Structures are given as C-alpha cells and as structure tokens.
A and B are shown apart, each in its own frame.
Chain A
Amino acid sequence: GQSLEQPSEVTAVEGAIVQINCTYQTSGFYGLSWYQQHDGGAPTFLSYNALDGLEETGRFSSFLSRSDSYGYLLLQELQMKDSASYFCAVNTGFQKLVFGTGTRLLVSP
C-alpha cells in the first residue's frame, strides 16, 4: 500500500518562506502532486513532479527525491491568502491519487 506523511500544521508570517514536507512509503507511482484547499473549497492543483528535482511555478516550488522517498512544497513571499491546507499526492495509475495526511498552513500578519 501507500502512505504519505505530512506535518499536521505549520505557521509562518507574511513575506516569509515556508517548506511543507512529504515523506512517503509506496511501492511505485508516476509522480508527486501538490494541492491547496481552502476551508470549504475544492482542492486546487499547484504543482507536479514526474522526475526528481525542483519544479518552479511562480511563488511555489516543489521538489522530489525518489531515492529518499521525500518531497516538499516551498512557498515564498507568503501572503495571508496562502492560509489553507496543503496535500501531497502520488499518482498510482491513470487519474488515481493517493493523498497525504495534509498540512494546515497558518499565515499571520
């Protein structure tokens, strides 16, 4: 089976940089994705790593290391609107995602 662990909560201040880690145990997957979900809202796609290394999309960057069974999401220049839950997920075939435990990010002024 697959399991993906994330810290339950991370706090930071506006303008700062925060890293959300994702460690996994899985027998195999195609890539690692990151999703953002505001309270009461839909998960929104942020980033996808098919290969090891860093992917950058604006203020967000994501990293994957298959040899270390580890990935992270890096959020720069934090804004209040970034307060949300963040989920890592592995794609195990077609459009099947196995999600991590989720991290609640609280950004304070």
Chain B
Amino acid sequence: KAGVTQTPRYLIKTRGQQVTLSCSPISGHRSVSWYQQTPGQGLQFLFEYFSETQRNKGNFPGRFSGRQFSNSRSEMNVSTLELGDSALYLCASSGGTEPGNTIYFGEGSWLTVV
C-alpha cells in the first residue's frame, strides 16, 4: 500500500510568487491535513480537509489556502510568498474521523523562498 505522496519534493521560489503543493493520501483515506515545519516555530497545523470540506484551520494568514478533490487528493497554495514561508510542508492522511485514528505523514515538500 503506497504511503502519502507529496510533490514536488524540493522547490525554490522568489519572494512575491505563488506556489502550489500537491498531496496524494493513502488509498481509502478521506482526511487530509497540512502542516508547516520550521526550525523556529516547529510543526504547525495549517488546515484539514475531509470529503472536500475544510474542517479545521490553523492560525495562518489568508495567503495560505487549500482544497481537496473528490478523489481525496489535496493541494495547498501559498500566494505572495515571503522569505518566512521557507519551510518543510507536510501532508498527512487518516482513514477515520475519530481523534485516535493514526495519522500518516508524507515526506514533505521543501520550499525555499529567495
């Protein structure tokens, strides 16, 4: 069974540009969430989608957005990139809706903003 797949793995963008990151969850998983990881702030929750609906949102500016498609694949978008957006962006999926369900992470997309 394939794990959570994220693309691209590495990318470099210029300040002011926008970026779209893609995530394919584990087959059969309908919950997809996104996290940002930086050395200074650690792992922070961005948002979560279930059946194409956003169920939870973290404390990030509106420049960060996401969506989920009918096949559970998800994308997140960051517009007007800032240097501080340089981070590892992690996607995670879960097969159930209960809080105790195991959450599986992908290896992430490394974004560098220059």
Contact = CB atoms under 8 A, between A and B. Distances in A.
Given A42-B105, A96-B45, A91 B90 contact: no
Nearest to A1: B59
Nearest to B3: A42
B42 A96 contact: no
Contacts of A96: 33, 45, 48, 56, 58
Contact of A94 (B31, B58, B102): B31
Given A41-B107, A42-B107, A43-B90, A94 B56 contact: yes
Given A94-B55, A94-B97, A98-B45, A45 B31 contact: no
Interface of A: 30-31, 33, 35, 40-45, 48, 50, 87, 89, 91, 93-102
Given A42-B106, A87-B42, A99-B42, 13 more contacts: A30-B100, A31-B100, A42-B4, A45-B104, A91-B99, A93-B99, A94-B31, A94-B48, A94-B50, A95-B31, A96-B33, A96-B45, A100-B42
Interface residues of chain B: helix, strand, loop or mixed (majority): strand
Contact of B33 (A42, A87, A95): A95
B101 interface: yes
B81 interface: no
Contacts of B100: 30-31, 48, 50, 91
